[in-house]
């Protein structure tokens, strides 16, 4: 398993690799632009070349992009749809430029509409974005925080992937905090085995491309998406030993999105501590 973290792109793409090396990451996740603004960062080919040149000899083995927070593939608002499609296609093209293993995206929110119509709109937008780009995979992430979100469980995620055509570029990213918040048991070996069995049945294990590692401030089934540092929340250290010890997760990138010691993301000690839990889980 490739333990890493979400890393800032401040200072340019090559600086990302330096930062990741300092953190002792084996994999990284980045935003391709400011996550709370629509304005895209304009990259040139030399930016991509510089990133690849730095990435190649580094310890890093995987990079993924996370979509900005403003995007809603299920929206009925025409302007928001236009912006969401443009932002997603831009991220996929940046992913192609840097050789990313995927662009992680939340499937969308109902915003007062029916679930059926929201799913139809999300499928249409996601399919269009795939058609307008060439190679970078799109990874749907399981969600939590509101019953009005799409992709809360594996059955619906599998349905969305199938309706998007089920091509090889469609994959899945699962978040430990989101799973816990929705009600899956990620704290015991038996629970993790059961949820991966369900994932395999509803989506297909071959589509699982990435893990997000986050503890939870809230109880299982709370449907509250509040990340906590690994081992400090309701999942706990024993829970992460169970989660990380699932053999079918193999050598996936496993990325911390935790608040860290100062609210600015995980530090090297947290990366090392998570690697230690992984080693303990394998014993």
What six digits make up the tokens of 33?
Answer: 């632009």
Among 141, 185, 215, 267, which one carries the catalytic annotation?
141
Residue 106 annotated among the catalytic residues of the structure: yes
* Candidates 90, 93, 169, 178; catalytic one: 178
Residue of 36, 39, 264, 283 marked active site: 36
- Whether 227 is a known active-site residue: answer yes
Half-sphere exposure of 119 toward its Cβ, with a 13 Å CA cutoff?
16
Catalytic, 185? Answer no
**Which listed residue (215, 228, 257, 267) is catalytic?**
257
Give CA–CA dist 99/97, Å, rounded.
6
Choice among 26, 101, 156, 175 that is catalytic:
175
212 is catalytic: yes
E strands in the chain: 2-6, 27-31, 62-66, 103-105, 138-141, 170-175, 208-213, 215-216, 227-228, 253-256
**225 in active site:** yes
DSSP-assigned states of every residue in 193-245: HHHHHHHHHHT-GGGEEEEEE-EESS-TT-----EE-TTSSSSHHHHHHHHHT
21 is catalytic: no
175 is catalytic: yes
Instruction: State how far Cα 66 lies from the chain centre.
Output: 6
Q: If residue 97 lies in a helix (H) or strand (E), which one and from where to where? A: helix 78-98
47 tagged catalytic: no
Q: Which of 6, 19, 66, 180 is catalytic?
A: 66
Q: Is residue 6 among the annotated active site residues?
A: no
Q: Out of 43, 227, 241, 267, pick the active-site residue.
A: 227
CB count within 10 Å of CB 61 equals 15
Q: Which of 106, 121, 180, 187 is catalytic?
A: 106
Catalytic residue among 53, 69, 115, 219: 69
Q: Of these residues, 212, 215, 228, 241, which one is catalytic? A: 212
CA-based end-to-end distance of the chain? 15
Tell me which residues are annotated as active site. 36, 66, 69, 106, 141, 175, 178, 212, 225, 227, 257
């Amino acid at each position: 398993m490739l333990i890493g973290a979400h890393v800032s792109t401040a200072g340019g793409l090559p600086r990302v690799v330096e930062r990741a090396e300092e953190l002792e990451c084996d994999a990284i996740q980045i935003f391709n632009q400011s996550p709370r603004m629509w304005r895209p960062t304009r990259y040139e080919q030399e930016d991509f070349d510089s990133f690849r040149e730095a990435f190649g000899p580094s310890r890093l083995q995987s990079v993924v992009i996370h979509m900005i927070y403003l995007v809603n593939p299920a929206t009925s608002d025409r302007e928001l749809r236009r912006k969401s499609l443009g932002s997603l296609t831009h991220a996929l093209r940046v992913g192609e430029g840097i050789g990313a293993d995927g662009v992680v995206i939340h499937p969308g929110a109902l915003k007062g509409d029916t679930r059926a119509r929201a799913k139809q709109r999300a499928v249409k937008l996601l399919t269009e974005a795939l058609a307008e780009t060439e190679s970078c995979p799109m990874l749907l992430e399981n969600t939590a925080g509101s019953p009005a979100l799409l992709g809360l469980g594996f059955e619906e995620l599998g349905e969305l992937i199938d309706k998007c055509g089920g091509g090889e570029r469609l994959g899945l990213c699962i978040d430990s905090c989101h799973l816990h918040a929705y009600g899956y048991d990620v704290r015991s070996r038996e629970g993790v085995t059961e949820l991966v069995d369900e994932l395999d049945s509803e989506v297909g294990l071959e589509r699982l491309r990435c893990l997000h590692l986050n503890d939870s401030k809230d109880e299982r089934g709370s449907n509250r998406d509040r990340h906590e540092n690994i081992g400090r929340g309701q999942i706990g250290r024993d829970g992460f030993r169970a989660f990380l010890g699932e053999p079918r997760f193999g050598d996936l990138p496993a990325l911390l999105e935790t608040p860290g010691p100062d609210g600015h993301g995980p530090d090297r000690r947290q990366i090392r501590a998570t690697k230690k839990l992984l080693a303990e889980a394998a014993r």
